[in-house]
A and B are shown apart, each in its own frame.
Chain A
Amino acid sequence: MSSIRRVYLDNNATTPLLPEVFEAVRPYFAERFGNASSIHHHGQETRAAVERARESVAALLGCRASEVVFTSGGTEGDNLAISGLTHPGDHVISSTIEHHAVLNSCKHLEAMGCEVTYVPVDGRGLIDPDDVRRALRPHTKLITIMMANNETGVLQPLEQIGKIAAEADVYFHTDAVQAAGKVPIDVNRLGCDLLSISGHKLHAPQGVGALYVRKGTILQPMFHGGSHERSRRAGTENVPGIIGLGKAAELAREALNRGDLAQMSAMRDQIEERILSEVEATGVNGEGAPRVPNTTNIHFDYIEGESLVIALDLKGLAVSTGAACSSGAIEASHVLTAMGLPPETARASLRFSLGKQNTPEEIQFALELVPQSVARLRELSPVYNKAAVSS
Chain B
Amino acid sequence: MAQNKTIAVAMSGGVDSSTVAAMLRAEGHDVIGLTMQLWNQRRLAGHEGMPEAVQGRCCSLDDVYDARRVAETLGIPYYVVNHEDRFERDVVQPFVEEYLSGRTPIPCSLCNNHLKFDQLLIVAQQIGADALATGHYARVEFDDKSGRWLLKRPADLAKDQTYFLFGLTQDQLSRTLFPLGEMTKPQVRDLARHHGLALAAKPDSQEICFVPGGDYKKFLDAYLAEQGESLPDTAGELVTTDGQVIGEHDGIHKFTVGQRKGLGVATGSPLYVIQIKGDQRQVVVGKQEDLYSRTLRAHRVNLIAVEDLREPMRVRVKIRHRHEGAPAILETSGHDEVLVTFDEPQRAITPGQAAVFYDGEVVVGGGWIV
Contact = CB atoms under 8 A, between A and B. Distances in A.
Contacts of A303: 126
Given A327-B37, A327-B61, A328-B64, A381 B80 contact: no
Contacts of B75: 2
Given A1-B30, A313-B77, A314-B32, A331 B82 contact: yes
A380 to B, nearest CB: 5
A310 B123 contact: yes
Contact of A376 (B35, B61, B80, B128): B128
B126 A311 contact: yes
A385 to B, nearest CB: 11
A381 B81 contact: no
B59 interface: yes
B125 interface: yes
Interface string A227-242: 0000000000000000
B122 A310 contact: no
Nearest to A312: B127
A304 interface: yes
Contacts of B64: 327-328
A314 B77 CA distance: 8
Contacts of A328: 64, 68, 79-80
A238 B123 CA distance: 43
Interface in A267-325: 303-304, 306-307, 310-311, 313-315, 325
Contacts of B128: 311, 314-315, 376
B35 to A, nearest CB: 8
A177 to B, nearest CB: 25
Contacts of A377: 126
A327 B82 CA distance: 9
Nearest to A328: B80
B29 to A, nearest CB: 11
Interface in B54-78: 59, 61, 64, 68, 75-77
Nearest to A343: B85
B79 A380 contact: no
A306 B80 CA distance: 9
Contacts of A391: none
Contacts of B80: 327-329
Contacts of B37: 325, 327, 329
A132 B64 CA distance: 42
Given A327-B80, A328-B80, A329-B37, A381 B30 contact: no
B61 A380 contact: no
A326 interface: yes
Contacts of B122: 380-382
A103 interface: no
B235 to A, nearest CB: 38
A307 B81 contact: yes
B21 to A, nearest CB: 14
Interface in A324-346: 325-331
B16 to A, nearest CB: 20
A216 to B, nearest CB: 43
Interface in A16-37: none
A310 B82 contact: no
Interface string B256-287: 00000000000000000000000000000000
B317 to A, nearest CB: 33
A325 B59 CA distance: 12
Interface string B117-129: 0000011011110
A330 B64 CA distance: 14
B81 A329 contact: yes
Contact of B77 (A1, A304, A307, A331): A1
A376 B129 CA distance: 12
A310 B30 contact: no
A329 to B, nearest CB: 4
Contact of A326 (B32, B61, B126, B127): B61
Contacts of A311: 126-128
A304 B81 CA distance: 10
Contacts of B35: 327
Given A307-B81, A328-B80, A380 B126 contact: yes
A290 to B, nearest CB: 32
B4 to A, nearest CB: 12
Nearest to A377: B126
Contacts of A310: 79, 81, 123, 127
Interface in B303-336: none
A202 to B, nearest CB: 28
A259 B61 CA distance: 46
B303 to A, nearest CB: 22
Nearest to A303: B126
B77 A306 contact: no
Given A331-B82, A376-B128, A304 B123 contact: yes
Given A325-B82, A327-B37, A329-B82, A307 B61 contact: no
A325 B128 CA distance: 25
Interface in B74-105: 75-77, 79-82
Interface string B15-31: 00000000000000010
Contacts of B79: 310, 313, 328
Given A327-B61, A328-B64, A380-B122, A314 B82 contact: no
B89 to A, nearest CB: 13
A315 B61 CA distance: 27
Interface string B209-227: 0000000000000000000
Q: Which 8 A-B pairs have the closest CB atoms?
A: A329-B82, A329-B37, A328-B80, A329-B80, A311-B127, A327-B64, A377-B126, A307-B126
Given A310-B123, A325-B82, A327-B37, 5 more contacts: A311-B126, A313-B77, A313-B79, A326-B61, A328-B68
Interface of B: 30, 32, 35, 37, 59, 61, 64, 68, 75-77, 79-82, 122-123, 125-128
5 contacts: A2-B75, A306-B81, A307-B127, A328-B79, A329-B81
